[in-house]
Structure 1
Amino acid sequence: MRGVGRSVLAVAVLGFGVALAGCTAAGNDVATPTQSAWTVQPTAGATTGSPDSFVAKGTAAQNQAAFDATIQGVLAKNAKATGQAVTAALESAGLAKSSLQFSASRTSAKLVPGSILVSAQFGSECVIGQWGNAVGGYHSAIAPALGAGGCLVGGGGTGSTPSSGGGSLGD
């Protein structure tokens, strides 16, 4: 009997300790991560381009304003524009099809994704635009091109347009 009493006491102490630890953890002010808008730092010495036109053979920094203005113009007319519609507008504005990629406008379950990405490659850099409910509107950033080429992972190869609605608009 004496062993049973010690076991019950040990379980009671252990239970009290767990309960106390739970109360202590709940009282801590733990910062929860939040999503913030992309910030763009201009490249040193870069010339900021005009929102009216793309700079032929220009850098990502030189073409970001025109990229943003083109996409924002499409989104002003249709906030739920697809990646295909936006890349068509970018092509009409003067960018080469082979430099453009976009993410799927529908998930594999045929749902609308939280955001859509469109990119344009300028040499070794990319301007990447993103919009949708999950990101609170439109944002863009400049990032290095991928080692294998292109700007977006999983967008398909050049000339590929997967049935999910994403890919590049090359040849």
Structure 2
Amino acid sequence: MSRLLGRSLAALTLVAALGLAGCTGGSPTPQPSTPTTTSAVAPGGDAATASPDATASPTPAPSATSEASQRLPLFTQTVAAVWTGPNPVSGRAYIDALTTAGFDKAAMQVTADQSTIGNAAESIEFAVRIGDQCLVGQVGPSIGDPVTAVLPGLSAGGCLIGQTRAIDW
């Protein structure tokens, strides 16, 4: 992957993450309670306990969006651990570490570690789809510190645009 393309992807990821972050402000929307005590995640990320109320409709289950947001810290921590390890630009190292951390390997994508002419990739991307959202990471010498974000999934499925490699190990 060329340096320009790698930087462009990093910039695009950052812009998308900042754009999504701007969508999370505002007041929390009240949720109806259920006949039993349940726990839900408020937009700020704090757990809130609903009071029992036999006349209210059931609270919907937490959305995939909130699940992806809740799992971002673990995703980021796992990526950081691999980045400081012996194989910082190895897609397999990230996929294996994320699988060990409890992410679904069947829902993952990763780009190639080498360019089409056999040079080491200047950056690699990897992602885990959770519902209609994706946890996306990008690392490499052209990126600097690892970048992670929750981004919308592609309408056709998956998370990454372009050529990805098979996760067949």
TM over 0.5: yes
For residue 81 of structure 1, what is the aligned residue in structure 2? 89
Once the two structures are TM-superposed, the CA of residue 116 in structure 1 deviates from its matched residue by: 0.6
Distance 2:97 2:138 in 1: 15
Distance 1:108 1:93 in 2: 31
Distance 1:70 1:110 in 2: 27
Match of 1:47 among 30, 45, 48: 45
Alignment of 1:111-150 (within 5 A): 111-150=119-158
TM-score, normalisation: structure 2: 0.62
Secondary structure of the corresponding residue to residue 84 of structure 2:
helix
TM-score, normalisation: structure 1: 0.61
Structure 1 or 2, whichever has the larger Rg, is 1
Once the two structures are TM-superposed, the CA of residue 47 in structure 1 deviates from its matched residue by: 2.3
Comparing both chains, which one has the higher relative contact order based on Cα–Cα distances under 8 Å and sequence gaps of 6 or more?
2
Structure 2: segments with no counterpart, 5+ residues: 1-7, 25-42, 48-63
RMSD: 3.1
Structure 1: segments with no counterpart, 5+ residues: 1-33, 50-56, 157-165
Distance 1:84 1:42 in 2: 33
For residue 105 of structure 2, what is the aligned residue in structure 1? 97
Contact 1:101 1:155 in 2 (8 A): no
Contact 1:97 1:170 in 2 (8 A): no
